[in-house]
Structures are given as C-alpha cells and as structure tokens.
Amino acid sequence: MMMRRSVFLPLLSSLALILIWSGLAYVLQSRYLPSPADVASAFLGELTSGALLFHIGATCLRVMGAFCIAIICGTAIGFALGRSPKANLIFDPWLIFALNLPALVIIVFCYLWLGLTETAAIIAVALNKIPNTAVTMREGARALDPALDEVATVFGYSGWSKFNHFILPQLEPFLASAIRNGLALIWKIVLVVELIGRSNGVGFQINFFFAQFDLARIIVYTLSLMVIVGLIEALVIKPWENHARAWRGDS
Amino acid sequence: MNFTFAAKSFGPQKILSPISLTLKKGKITALMGPSGSGKTTLLRLIAGLDHDDTQTPKKHLKIGMMFQEPRLLPWKTVLENIEITGPERGLLKDLDLENAGALYPRQLSLGMAKRVAFARALARSPDLLLLDEPFTSLDDSRAALMRSLIIAIKDRLNIPVLITTHDRADASALEADIVTLQGRPATLHRIDHSS
C-alpha cells in the first residue's frame, strides 16, 4: 500500500504540473510559453535530425571530464587540509577565496588564458567545483576515527592498503555527498561555459534558440539533460551510495 | 624479548619512570595496577602507538593487539574484520562465533565484539600478543573460554603474551608472571609468583 502510494502520488503531482502548464499555454496563446504538445513535437524533430543526441553527447563528455578532475583534485586537496592543521591554516584563505569567486569570472579567465578551447572549458568547470569538493572532503578527513587509525598502525597497514581498508570507507558518505552535489552543480556550469565559448553542446543550443525565441527547443534540450542527470543519479550514484552504506543498516 | 623505555610524560605530568620489561616466549605476563597507573600507556609504548620522552624507536615486531574497546571496522563483517590481519583458520569456531561471520559489528553485543577483536589479534600469527583488559564485559563462561584460548595460543605459537588486568584472579588462572605498576610516576615491580 505504502509502495503504491509512493509511486502514485509523485506521478499524480507530475501529471497535475503538465495539466497546469497545458492550461496556461492554452489560455495565454503566447510564443513565450509553448504547450507540452509543441515541446513534444520539437523533441521529435531534434531527435530524428540527430542534433539532440550530438549536442547532449558533447555536453555529457564535458560534464564527465570536469567531474572527474574536480572530484579527484578536490578530494586530494580536502584530504590534505583535513589531515594537516598547518596546511589548513596556510591554505584556508585560498579555499575561501576560491569558494567565493564567481563561476563566470573563472570561466572568462580560463577562456582568456587558454583560448576558446575544449581544455579551457573543462578546466573552467572543474575549477568551479574543486573548492566545494575540497571543503566537503576536508570535513570527512577531520571526522576520521583516530582509534581506527591506531588499529591500522598496530596491524602494519600503511600507504594504499591503509587508505583502501581504513580511510576510504570512512570518507564514503562525504564522497557521496561531494559527488551528488558535484553532478548537480557541474552540468549547470557546463551550460554557461558552452553558451560563452563553445560551438556545440546544450548550452550552445540554448543560446542559439534563445536568439530565435524558440522556447520549445530550449525546453527540449534542458529537459533532456535533466533526465540524463536524473538517470545517472538514480542508476549509478544512488545504488553505489546504498551499497556503501549497507553496513549501517539504514539504506 | 626485552623492552626498555625512558620516562613517559603527558605535558608536565610524568606518568611512567624509566622501565625495562622482559617478556618470555611461551609465557603470559600480567601487567597489573590500579586504574590510571599507566598500564595502557606502557602497552601503547610496546605496540609502537606512542613514544617515550626520548623518542625511543619502536621494535619491528608483528604484534597482535586487542584494545580495551573492540575497535572493529563497522563497515566490515565479523569475518572480514578478522581477515584484515590474516586467515581466519577456525578462529570463529574456537571463539564460539561460528554463526556470526556475516554479521556487522553494530549487530554484536560488547562481549561478542571483544571476542572478534581477540580473533583479529590472533589471525595475524603475531610475534607478540598484547591484550588490554581482555576479560572486561565478558560473562564468566566466555571469560573462561578466552582464558583457555590465551593459554592454548601461547603454547601453540610459543610467543610472549602481555595482558593488562586489575584482577589478580585472572592472572592466577592464566598462571601468569605478574608485574605491577606502582606510584606516580609509576615504576615496574615484578612479583615472583602469581599465587
């Protein structure tokens, strides 16, 4: 009964949203609010032409590249700062500065320094996410249990084996949080990067259709990307998180 | 196996005087003394988890240690916790844990968790076994089981075993050599026979 309700209510709510959208589009009859039917038609057009898959593919590759760089670098920096109070004292102002730097400024600087290139685009996105990841992982490193550290020492664990068996499992909840927030932030920044300095991708297409006042296609590209990000969350991140937390008995 | 340490202080407070302790192969030594006398501190010095005031380098030994608290890895099952130090080799059965291999530490009582920690210390096939208050939180029958296992292990492996306890009856049951920590800063005294 609970299961059926948990599926039924969100479905009903989504249906209600589409109905309200349809009603408003019908009443206003404006090109600035396309109806769900207009969007569906635009979707089919973009899908059959191959444009949708091409541009979404380009965006996804950028998201993946920036995401990997941001998670690896952010984790390394955060872990180092969390484990070394001295390093944290020295570099904390840098981190605060980086956290407060507007995304747009980082993007502009990367394009100016590295040119309007793919490398610049991916680095700009990664640089925007690294400080957030570092802050989350710094908290994770601070929360490591010193008692388990002693267990590792007395049983002769060091280096990678210590990290793998004793440290990584303690960091996993923080890593999961960094990954989830990272994905949510990165794909939005990638759109801005594409809008400013790339000739393909969802951001580029949104800019292109914005110039033509084609809101239906803007919605098509936005919703398609949101669906893909949602699928990654549901099919990859959530199952991994559940697996990592199985020992707590609360998943 | 001889351990010699300079004094050990925490801040301005000197806890231990310079100490020399000899542990014999195939013998159990019970380190006794009231709470706060420095038993655990001495055990940590021997385990290399702490340094004395002159930073005496630690001996490179394969140590099997059971801490006062079980300190199991909560994300690993009982069997996995044991196997982080070495093969299980029937330890679950020996310690009356044969049905607990797939359980996580949160599903264990404190007594069970302590037995798992003991199994983990043994699985390493250590050169030296250090047991910090091993019998607390165990009921009488489980404490007796663990005592008989400690005796069997030191005979089988022919290794020195050092346990901390404040209960003379435990030391007697183990037929252990007794050393005590007395005073502040504590000095080590050897008592000739456990009886």
Per-residue pLDDT of chain B (195 residues; tens, 9 = 90+): 788 888 888 888 888 888 888 888 888 999 998 888 888 899 999 998 988 888 877 778 899 999 999 999 999 999 999 999 989 888 898 888 889 989 999 999 888 899 999 999 999 889 999 999 888 878 888 888 888 888 888 888 888 999 998 888 888 888 888 999 888 888 878 876 544
Domains along chain A? 49-248 (1.10.3720.10)
- Find the angle CA(B102)-CA(B106)-CA(B110) to the nearest 5 degrees: 100
What is the predicted pLDDT for the residue at A251? 47
- The minimum CA-CA distance between B170 and chain A, rounded to whole Å, is 25
Q: Decide: A154 and B63 in contact? Cβ < 8 Å.
A: yes
Identity of the amino acid at A183: L
Give the 3-state secondary structure of residue B195.
coil
Let me know: does A22 contact A36? Beta carbons within 8 Å: yes
User: What is the rounded CA–CA span in Å between residue A214 and residue A42?
Assistant: 10
Q: Do the Cβ atoms of A88 and A110 come closer than 8 Å?
A: no
Spell out which chain B residues touch chain A, with contact meaning CB-CB distance below 8 angstroms: 47-49, 62-63, 65, 67, 69, 71, 73-76, 84-85, 104, 106-107, 120, 124
Q: How far is A82 from chain B (nearest CA, A)?
A: 21
CA B21, B25, B27: angle at the middle one, nearest 5?
80
Of A150, A155, A249, the CB nearest to B85: A155
- Check if A180 contacts B (Cβ < 8 Å): no
Q: What pLDDT was estimated at residue A246?
A: 75
Contact B138, B110 (CB under 8 A): no
Classify residue B44 by burial, with Cβ atoms within 10 Å: 0-12, 13-18, 19+: buried
Q: What is the DSSP letter of B186?
A: B
Nearest by CB to B106, which of A153, A154, A249? A249
Give the amino acid at B188: L
Judge: B106–A154 Cβ closer than 8 Å, yes or no: no
Give the mean pLDDT per block of 10 residues along chain A (251 residues). 72 90 90 90 95 95 95 95 94 94 94 94 95 95 94 92 92 89 90 93 94 94 92 87 75 47
CA distance B139 to B126: 26
* CB of A171 closer than 8 Å to CB of A162: no
**Contact at CB, B85 and A169, closer than 8 angstroms:** no
Query: CB of B22 within 8 A of CB of B1?
Result: yes
Render chain A in DSSP notation, one character per residue: -HHHHHHHHHHHHHHHHHHHHHHHHHHH--TTS--HHHHHHHHHHHHHHTHHHHHHHHHHHHHHHHHHHHHHHHHHHHHHHHH-HHHHHHHHHHHHHHHHS-HHHHHHHHHHHH-SSHHHHHHHHHHHHHHHHHHHHHHHHHT--HHHHHHHHHTT--HHHHIIIIIHHHHHHHHHHHHHHHHHHHHHHHHHHHHHH-SSSHHHHHHHHHHTT-HHHHHHHHHHHHHHHHHHIIIIIHHHHHHHTGGGT--
**Cα dihedral sign for B38, B43, B46, B51?**
negative
Chain B residues whose CB is inside 8 A of the A242 CB are none
Contact yes or no for B106 and A248 at CB 8 A:
yes
Rounded distance between C-alpha atoms, residue B195 and residue B185, angstroms:
27
Find, in chain A, the residue whose alpha carbon is nearest to that of B104: A247
C-alpha B15/C-alpha B18 separation (Å) is 10
Interface with B, mutate which of A145, A153, A155 (most B CBs under 10 A): A155
Distance of alpha carbon A177 from alpha carbon A182, whole angstroms: 8
In the prediction, which pLDDT does B195 show?
A: 44
Q: Would you tell me how many other CB atoms lie within 10 Å of the CB of residue B138?
A: 19
For chain B, domains (ranges, CATH) are: 2-9+63-191 (3.40.50.300)
Contacts B104 to A, Cβ<8 Å: 247, 249
